[in-house]
Amino acid sequence: MKRAIVIAAMCLACMVGRAWSADTACEQIFDGKTLDGWDGNPDVWSVQDGAITGKTTAEKPIKGNTFLIWRKGDVGDFELKLEYKLIGGNSGIQYRSFEVPNEKWVVGGYQADFEAGDNFSGILYGERYRGILANRGQKTVIKEGGKVEVAGSVGDSARIQSKIKKEDWNTYEITAKGFHFVHKINGVVTSEATDEDSARRERGIIALQVHAGPPMQVQFRNICLKRLDGPKSESTSAAAKKKVVFIAGKPSHGFADHEHNAGCLLLAKLLEKAMPNFETKVYLSGWPDDPKALDGADAVVMFSDGGGGHMAIPHLEQLDSLAKKGVGIACLHYAVEVPKGDAGNRFLDWIGGYFESDWSVNPFWTPAFEKIPEHPVSRGVKPFKAEDEWYYHMRFRENMEGVTPILSALPPADTLKRPDGPHENNPHVRAAVLERKEPQHVAWVAERKDGGRGFGFTGGHPHWNWGKPDFRKVVLNGIVWVAKGEVPAGGVTATVTMEDLDKNLDPKGGSRKIDREEIRKKYGVE
């Protein structure tokens, strides 16, 4: 009799897997054999008995929670079904989540919890993201500031627990529609929540958790994702189109320098060519007059003059509102400089750092970027050199919180030969570079605690540098990343010719009779 029951249970599990697979709108995101498409600590994650397996032992404990991240795109509205089995400890399924900056395989966001104990399986938890948002049995509304209000009940917690099998396979279902979330285990609703907080998340990654603490093992199989807001996602065809708005500043400087209009038009063209799911809009020669110009943007890119006349200063509230909604912000070259105070503080929040007068400096020099860090924005970027007006000694967030350097180098002493001045030199930068020998970060990314993203890049004075493959790849990667798109494994790749570079240059004096071969040689144009 026992043997018959075991066989029946096995057949039921197979039927469940086949039923999910038969749904043509349901994407099997685990192939049952490998971790293809998934990324996590190989000391923790493997495939065993046809299931993703996360395991810790007394001999190999982990210091903090670690996650296996699905790398094939962000998700918005969806239904996710899977089977799980847990032995000891606790685990969870992250969705619409974000990677925590400067911590590898660490994730924050919405989490469908489950545990070996009797209290938390089925709850909605905000991992590094506002804490418990709905206990088991609760129907909640999450108000501004993460305040949780209980609006009703979906059942008795103890009764729900009685339906969950210990150290055996259970089914977990998660539905996210708009900002309404429902969790089910074995067909029983365990919690329900509606998120009305401005910190709520529209999209994000999926990830699986192994929790720090005593030895444990968790397994997942038959992982089926049904998107409710678009087609399947691959690295270059994400579920949702991404919109990037470029705002070019007015013409300034001499011929082929600070070519804001030509630079934005070129980057937009390259982005759309390399990333079919991206669409762009370019506004030329200053802030757009249309008050709806930034509506629907996933990212705003500013390439302009800065300082006290920065084109964004009259629009700080508008940009702040967009940033709080998760819109990415990128600033190129002089656009990273704003006055200290309100504008500077906003830039610290949005992009993690800015050029501060009497602290930062703007010499011309040729750094060699020899060590490229591991980050989506550095994908496909090889070590390179580039002569430019690379600003450095930026004013960053305290302790570089949430900030990840992308391009760094130690400036030579001759970059600090000018007399002290608001942009030229100061005692602070001399102490950092000449005395302490601190490498300076000239390109960086930043994350907000709510998952918003920023990118700062201080190069871009000579227009011809956009001809350098690795130079422009860093910027294109950065734009894709702040828009919360998936940066391809080899980076955003597009060819640029001298003919491309010579288009749309501002008629601001100087000669168009350029020596193309000299430019090709000096700037490494393809």
CB 193 within 8 A of CB 134: yes
At 13 the pLDDT is 41
CB 455 within 8 A of CB 351: yes
- Pick from 183-187, 257-261, 513-517: least confident: 513-517
The vertex-35 CA angle with 32 and 40, nearest 5°, equals 140
Confidence of residue 23 (pLDDT cuts 50, 70, 90): low
Q: Is the pLDDT of residue 71 over 70?
A: yes
Q: Is the pLDDT of residue 1 over 60?
A: no
Cα torsion through 356, 361, 365, 368, rounded to 10 = -50
Q: Is the pLDDT of residue 234 over 90?
A: no
Q: Is the pLDDT of residue 29 over 70?
A: yes
Quote the CA–CA distance of 418 and 430 in Å, as a whole number: 11
400-409 pLDDT, tens per residue? 999 999 999 9
Confidence of residue 17 (pLDDT cuts 50, 70, 90): very low
Distance of CA 144 to CAs 109, 200, 458, 486, 502, Å? 16, 9, 36, 30, 50
At 512 the pLDDT is 64
At 16 the pLDDT is 43
- What's the DSSP call for residue 16? H
189-231 pLDDT, tens per residue? 999 999 998 888 988 999 999 999 999 999 999 999 999 875 4
Confidence of residue 80 (pLDDT cuts 50, 70, 90): very high
Q: DSSP readout, 307-363?
A: GGG-TTGGGHHHHHHHHHTT-EEEEEGGGGB--TTHHHHHHHHHHSEEB-TTT-B--
Q: Is the pLDDT of residue 304 over 70?
A: yes
Nearest to 407 by CA among 464, 474, 465: 474
Q: Which residue matches tokens 């990333």?
A: 275
449-508 pLDDT, tens per residue? 777 899 999 999 999 999 999 999 999 999 999 999 988 888 998 889 888 998 999 987
Q: Is the pLDDT of residue 84 over 50?
A: yes
Region 313-333: mean pLDDT is: 95
CB 272 within 8 A of CB 243: no
At 286 the pLDDT is 96
Nearest to 325 by CA among 202, 219, 436: 202
Mean residue pLDDT of the chain comes to: 91
Q: Is the pLDDT of residue 372 over 80?
A: yes
Confidence of residue 14 (pLDDT cuts 50, 70, 90): very low
Contacts of 404 (CB under 8 A, 6+ apart): 101, 102, 373, 375, 444, 445, 446
- Evaluate the CA torsion angle 104, 109, 115, 117 in order and state its sign: positive
Confidence of residue 26 (pLDDT cuts 50, 70, 90): confident
Region 136-150: mean pLDDT is: 94
Cα diameter, the chain: 92
At 510 the pLDDT is 64
Quote the CA–CA distance of 97 and 302 in Å, as a whole number: 27
Region 143-169: mean pLDDT is: 95
Cα–chain center distance at 243 = 15
Q: Is the pLDDT of residue 65 over 90?
A: yes
Region 118-143: mean pLDDT is: 96
Nearest to 464 by CA among 503, 437, 433: 503
Rounded to 5 degrees, φ, ψ at 134 are -160, 120
Region 141-158: mean pLDDT is: 94
424-440 pLDDT, tens per residue? 999 999 999 999 999 99
Quote the CA–CA distance of 303 and 333 in Å, as a whole number: 7
Q: Which residue has the higher pLDDT, 165 or 103?
A: 165
Q: Is the pLDDT of residue 356 over 70?
A: yes
